[in-house]
Amino acid sequence: MKILITEKQYIDVVLKENKIDYYRTKALDDLLVGKKPYNVGTFLIIPVEVFEDEYYDEDGVMMEHDSFDNRLFVNRNFFKYFFDNFGFKSGLEARKYIADWFSNKFNLEVNYVE
């Protein structure tokens, strides 16, 4: 069975995907507003600010990149929010999106996300 879609339907799907990407990237970029990532040894750390109650945990870290093994740690509360609200089909897809964003933003290689 062949399914045909009109050009308008195709354009609607492409525009929807572009808007989703825009809002995904905006959510990640907004993490940096008013924050100063800092280095400690081999780590680049993006802190969680005290007023970000919904993401705060005992580590006080939003994201942490280790240049020793190129691992990117992502705050679990933020990851859950990001996954639940931005239409990802799987956790793997969400982790890849975050890894690509981080690599582009900080010009650092990311081998895996935890």
* Average pLDDT per 10 consecutive residues for the chain, totaling 114 residues: 58 66 91 88 85 62 94 92 90 97 96 94
**In this structure, are residues 106 and 36 in contact, taking their beta carbons and an 8 Å threshold?**
no
- DSSP one-letter string for 69-101: TTEEEE-HHHHHHHHHHTT-SSHHHHHHHHHHH
- The pLDDT score that the predictor gives to residue 70 is 96
| Whole-number pLDDT of residue 41 | 92
Residues contacting residue 106 through CB under 8 Å, at least 6 positions apart: 37, 44, 65
Give the Cβ contact number of residue 12 at 10 Å: 12
Question: Which pLDDT value is given to residue 113?
Answer: 96
pLDDT given for residue 63 in this prediction: 93
Q: Domain ranges in the chain?
A: 7-113
Q: What is the pTM of this model?
A: 0.81
| DSSP strands (E only) in 12-66 | 38-40, 43-47, 61-66
- What pLDDT does residue 35 have? 84
